[in-house]
Amino acid sequence: MMRFVRALLLAALAICMLSAWTPSHARSLFWPQFRFRWDDHQFRHKHQHRQTKSDLTKKSQLQTPPQAPLQIIISIADQRISLYENGTLIARSSVSTGVEGHPTPLGVFSVLSKEKWHRSNIYSAAPMPYMQRLTWSGIALHAGDLPGRPASHGCIRVTKDFAIRLWHLTKRGTRVIIAHEDIRPVEIANPQLFVPKPRVTAATPESGTTTLASSDSVTAATAHAPLISNSDGDAKTAKPASVAGSPQKMVPISVFVSRQSSKLYVRKGFTPLFDVPINIRNPAEPMGTHVFSAMEFQNEGTAVRWTVVSIPEKSSPNQGNPPRPRKTPAVPEKASTVLERIEIPHDAVDRISELLTPGSSLIISDYGISHETGRDTDFIVLTH
């Protein structure tokens, strides 16, 4: 009996000890994880609130894949990055660009590659998390310290949270424009802009245009095009973006018009397609640099909504006074004037119309193709 009572007391004591031990032991095992999640929640809540105060708009759109073309615009003077979707501002945040000895280049770029945990192969393996490369010579957009002024060796630093969100939205080819001052896309309508080749079942000789009935007619048309300079195969297999139900992925094209060389160049998915000579009226008169972007197709694929970003020239010492402020309505007007000075061969216009998709772009510049443009790049235009 005494043995039974002793065993009962020992069991009760063990239960009491276990009851007292379990909460503290459980807390030591799971509290760090719980605390991490709670701190992370607080960080996100506070950081999102701070971003809202600094003009981060429509943050929900930063959490879903974009349904329309994206554009990134960086202002050196304002130390600010702006993200546009379909021509509309959806996010804005601070940046830190290059110092005087290592300035961030100005011009037209695109995302060439992306890497989450990249380290610099130039500056002592410095960490560059959520890196998006803009040139193969070392300019990139990545998360980093923002002291409130230019502080990098040419890269564009952004906050970690913004870098993560941006990294998940962009893809190779996303357009990036770096300018000295703040600029933005504005809508433009001009008959000189490319339109999709209509898909019909018969030709219309009375209008003087060639219509497309099938992909076979595209092959026949492009096979005899006299303007191919380096890529007959790509042109012959190209299919019009306006063909309904096409199972092939639509890859945007980039068209570059250079006043310096009096040529038009076309690339598709970083691959050169062809180039042709063009005529520019008043060739000695500067045109500036303008980036026209095709947004969504309209009217059942027979029209395109275009936007344009005009990059103001930074004044040089021999120009004396800085450029005068320009009102927003003057931007599409000036861009339209530039378009009307360019004469492109009809065959080239037809081929571009066949390849046109949402996200395609037309770049017009006084400058030629930059040395940064090469294999696995879109057109890179340096404007300084």
- For the question of whether the overall pTM of this predicted structure is more than 0.85, the answer is no
pLDDT reported for residue 302: 83
Is residue 238 included in any domain, yes or no? yes
* Contacts (Cβ under 8 Å, ≥6 apart) of 339: 190, 192, 193, 364
CATH of the domain at 127: 2.40.440.10
Domain boundary among 161, 179, 197: 179
Residues 63 and 82 in one domain: yes
Interval 56-75: pLDDT, tens: 444 444 455 566 899 999 99
Is residue 15 included in any domain, yes or no? no
Residues 198 and 306 in one domain: yes
Write the CA distances from 69 to 173, 289, 357, integer angstroms. 10, 20, 11
Residues 79 and 163 in one domain: yes
Residue ranges of the chain with per-residue pLDDT less than 50: 18-62, 124, 201-247, 315-329
Residues 230 and 248 in one domain: yes
pLDDT reported for residue 8: 67
* Contacts (Cβ under 8 Å, ≥6 apart) of 122: 138, 153
Domain hosting 77: range is 59-179
pLDDT reported for residue 299: 85
Residues 362 and 284 in one domain: yes
Residues 218 and 343 in one domain: yes
Q: Strand order of the sheet with strand 70-75?
A: 113-119, 127-133, 140-143, 156-158, 88-96, 80-85, 70-75, 175-179, 107-110, 381-382
Is residue 277 included in any domain, yes or no? yes
Are the C-beta atoms of 76 and 182 separated by less than 8 Å? no
Number of domains in the chain: 2
What is the C-alpha separation between 274 and 19, in angstroms, rounded?
Answer: 78
Beta-carbon-side half-sphere exposure of residue 127 (alpha carbons within 13 Å): 8
What is the C-alpha separation between 379 and 372, in angstroms, rounded?
Answer: 8
Is residue 51 included in any domain, yes or no? no
Domain boundary among 122, 151, 179: 179
Residues 163 and 221 in one domain: no
Residues 243 and 292 in one domain: yes
Residues 274 and 199 in one domain: yes
Residues 277 and 363 in one domain: yes
What is the C-alpha separation between 187 and 189, in angstroms, rounded?
Answer: 7
Domain boundary among 163, 179, 195: 179
Residues 267 and 353 in one domain: yes
Is residue 13 included in any domain, yes or no? no
Is residue 302 included in any domain, yes or no? yes
